[in-house]
A and B are shown apart, each in its own frame.
Chain A
């Protein structure tokens, strides 16, 4: 008995100190999440699968032919966390020509900053012929700040999309002047008070007054004149190696909500609205949506290594964090993960918006299925997403229908945080490939990352991801911003000749960009839900137009538009393969066919 007791005591001691050891040895963010039942074997099989995916387009790297020359600055050693988090990318049709343009954010290293070197962000104009032209200087958006990400909104309801850049030290709001130029109105709009490390941002009219309000999440309390020393302290180690410090061990920064006053200015209502993040969690990506379909906007914010926020809105400007009780704060074991990017979509055609979050390498991407009534369930493992994503550091992610079959697949870009990982005793590498998961239409996904062409297998240090039909031909391109080096633009080529439809919504009583307006499109047996979203992915902005793949259906039987002010508009019997512009209360105001004639270089 004594012997047994002694042994149990010894076990306890071991367990206790092993816990200690692990706290130092684990990654810097999130909680390790071992893959349970059957998933590892499947993952291994999938990782070995090669060949070609039948009836699915190849994702081809067309970056070189676009004429885009942009290089995100980087530090080879990434000694500071601020050097690892930038790279959001935004699609913005800034000149209103109906063709998405691209804005890449840029950030210097600490050393560069200390020597007065600035990083040049860049705006590329879509030439309608498959190429882009750098119009940064003319537009005046080259040097907003140490830029993290960018989102689009029309803060002054003039019908022209404005650009908000999040920075290491606040935000910069660029007003679109409508003549190819932008003006920095940060100070005039009252946003200059935002001075912390801003990461995610999202425009959304939470109180239904027709003016887009602005939420800004903040990450770490980081100052260039008080730098956490590389490799110092417990939170600056990774698998025994010295790495950048943080976010653990560093102070977080609280979030802000700015109410649009309707006169070109904003008022900080963070505290009274209940979204001020008094715990100072490490906020990253944010987006607005109506998760419980009650007609009132809710707000979702990912927090790195901490519980996410899901703020349920009451429509009047009061919010309550219900993430924990809804099941989206942590994984199925209640472990808080390194939540970074957010994909939002109705991948199951249930009429509800689910969430898919990207995570750190000792975790996996987490799929939270929206089961209605603010009830989410962690489907990461059963959906097959977990097994394909564990071991990688995920960032920008999105539901996307590359093959236009009417079912949203999942696309994720990766890249480690620490360059030092290449020398660590782990299989993880600094440069990582991208992932594509095909929707099996039954709640599961098939990992097709090695079956959709060589391009997505190219290892990079990716961060931002923005999706949009760059060439107006009915196919969705992926614009990926990399932390190190040039971006990558992927175009789906080949695959089935499925049909599609695209809607550009214009609010009248609602906010002009119709942010958070929804379209429920039905074509035969397909009923899909789309929502106009500001922000999301990882500090990025997708094309605001809603794109639906229609499979073999040549017409849309009906498209119900749910405007942010609650009004519904029904459009019926729409021809497929066209771009529709729908104005609130006026129905379709214009439509045009796809630009099949565009010859890509």
Chain B
């Protein structure tokens, strides 16, 4: 906190013509307002006068330091006047005051005392006071203070150097959310500037509006400007300057390179050509970001269905357990109350996949995208093909992601095509053309894609059958992993059917490995969200506890929202965790005769203590891997 950082040239007046204390205060407040750090001049004045009323702020030796903490002050600042003949300021030593500094401080913090202390430290030197009083210009006045501060506090870096003392670089940082990257880039650039010895000022266009805004004078004086932004920033002001325009991540990753480019004069001269130039770059750079946004729109809308449906199904299992119903294939629907919850829960689950696809489509193509997404997603759950239109092997949530994105962009393309249609047809486009053509297209696409899922499924089933004789542990790993790959798609389905078929033929160990593989993913995710909070968004963390319940109830679907929002990191973690659990279950020769039920059927699990050990081990492996793979979330 240097005095020269707080005292602006506009807030200094030498040889002020004031003849009384109140005139001096009046003048100083006026100068504070010139400095621009006062938000409410009336309030600030009231606070200054209240302070003076309690005791004079003249400290003797011709010095007076009126000051006030006030809500009328935006930022700490100083104003100064010299009064040749002095003015009676009510000093204790009776001498008139000829050197007056006024401090404005916001109502919070200790800045006030620090500024006062520093001011007093340098003002104790009589020679220094004489030099200040003898200053011919405001620049001289500031130079005297600057020299004195350098002498008293030699170690501290100056906040801002004057342009003439070195290169001067300006930068603007901005990112779409404007919470983290904007400021990370700003900090990286400032550090790099400091390290390389070039003064730099960075304007941040964050979510709270532009801060540290570049002034016209600064832009004129600067050597060049660095724009590190993923959204459009006001560019007209940089016309005719050397300028680099790049991604915000470059500002974070290679700030030194950017600064060197400006210093070496390698940057091109910017010619402002209106809107086109800036919107073009931001379109390209934020493509990945857009995909993410669409994906999250689907996931966030799906989440309530997963949570509510999952809890209902868990309640059904609980009711049947309490009722002492047999833990067989009908477990969860044996009593009427359980059947109610199980059925309703399953109905909610039925919507889950279509909702995911539908809202991805809507995010991309607005209302026309909703229909294609919904129907495409539904077709992913039925697994309809041209030969088996009522349904075959579902493609699960991976198929739904496909349907949502393909459907959404399909509709955007369709809208473009329809641009050339006669104006008279404008009205029927959204009510007839888009829905009908869109529905037909998505149906054809999904029916063409679904057989691939069927083939994968058949292949996997054959593979599993052929593995029956080989190592049981490996088979357990494969089954566990398959349960986690697509959580309801062809892999999951193949493993599950294989497990239930094995029950029918009297091999109970296989179903145990299958169920544990399906229990691990939600638990692993819940563990990761509980212990590695930084890697999950707020919404994800809030729904994490529910995932413990879902996992324990063998409701793998609980993991889908997480997997859908970050598939490349979540799925491998879940697969590995599930594979470990499945392998261990086989190793420990655990058995299970019920095809579902999770923890509620543990009573009928053979060798259940080690089954729990397998579950815990798999969940921990999955959670740790998730923690290592997932990046920190910036909200």
Q: Do A and B bind each other?
A: no
Residues of A that sit less than 8 Å from B by CB: none
